[in-house]
Amino acid sequence: MSKNIKLVKTLETDTPIQEIDARWAHLALYPDIMPSLQRVKPLGDHHWLWQQADGDWTVDHVQRRPLEMVRWHARRDEVVCLASVLFIPLKSAGQTRVVYTLNYPNGIGPDALVEEIEADMATTLRRSAGLIDRPADEETSAALANGLAHADQGAQEALAQVIESGELLQTTLSQAADAWARSMTDSLKLINTGLWQSTHERSPDTREELKV
């Protein structure tokens, strides 16, 4: 096992912080922004199974501060990954800096390549900022069109259903959530589904458990 490896990718974008934060708000949306993540399955007791191309990871300690950060711990065999995503508003109106960090205290494992992980991180950042989309297949097109037509209300209901059931609607859900997030930007609101309390009701140090 190699020494500690810390990888950091940063993106500065005109995408409002509210819109980016919305895409990181629920684990059910992560397969749509992370290229290597295929499926998320809840295991109970704040643990999840992340099915990736390189194998299954067990994820826990998922925490989120709305408009500030999200972080999690992941393990696959002897490989441990401490991950975080920071959202930093810039002085320029509407601009955001997103800092994505993956720290591997025991190394990345013998079969992993740093270059591939960094490329995955860069794509994840661009997708979370809405700069590129995950390719949609024909099977999801009709459902996607219907979801976007009712983005304000429909996306909220779909998100709530996904969180409660653990189902993954991936591209369809993510695109509907994106449209809804944009519509909420002007009023500076985030996913007003009751799953998260509004930020003014919480102290700055309050941390939240992120749910599927």
Contacts of 71 (CB under 8 A, 6+ apart): 61, 62, 63, 64, 82, 83, 84, 85
Mean pLDDT of 82-102: 93
Task: State the pLDDT confidence band at 132, using cuts at 50, 70 and 90.
Answer: confident
CATH superfamily of 5-195: START domain (3.30.530.20)
- Tokens standing for residue 27: 């684990």
Task: State the pLDDT confidence band at 2, using cuts at 50, 70 and 90.
Answer: low
Per-residue pLDDT at 133 = 79
User: Would you kindly state where each structural domain of the chain is located, as residue ranges?
Assistant: 5-195
Per-residue pLDDT at 178 = 56
C-alpha distances out from residue 109 to 4, 94, 105, Å: 11, 39, 11
Between 166 and 43, where is the model more confident? 43
Between 86 and 194, where is the model more confident? 86
